Amino acid sequence: GEDVEQSLFLSVREGDSSVINCTYTDSSSTYLYWYKQEPGAGLQLLTYIFSNMDMKQDQRLTVLLNKKDKHLSLRIADTQTGDSAIYFCAENDSWGKLQFGAGTQVVVTP
């Protein structure tokens, strides 16, 4: 079956790095995704990584994938107050639909 798990809450100080972790179960997933949801808003696609990659960097975002352990992480460098949001990890199936984790609420404190 498909199941994506994330920790529910992360508090980080402004300027520090944030690391959000995720585990997934479907080894056939070809892409893994990170979405951001700000209060009252939709889901914003942040980044995604192909399953045969180990790492992907995009400005302040670094995605690490350990396929053996089915572990995905998102690192946000120099975290800003605008990064406060809920972050969702997701895996896809062969038809493209996504299975989401419960989301990690990130709170950035001054």
Residues that bind other proteins in the complex, under the rule CB under 8 A: 30-31, 33, 35, 41-45, 48, 50, 88, 92, 94-103
Q: In whole angstroms, how close is the CB of 87 to other proteins at the nearest point?
A: 12
Q: How far from the centroid of its chain's Cα atoms is residue 34's Cα? A: 4
Q: In whole angstroms, how close is the CB of 109 to other proteins at the nearest point?
A: 24
CB nearer to other proteins: give 50 or 80. Answer: 50
CB nearer to other proteins: give 36 or 83. Answer: 36
C-alpha span between 101 and 50 (Å, rounded): 18
C-alpha span between 60 and 50 (Å, rounded): 19
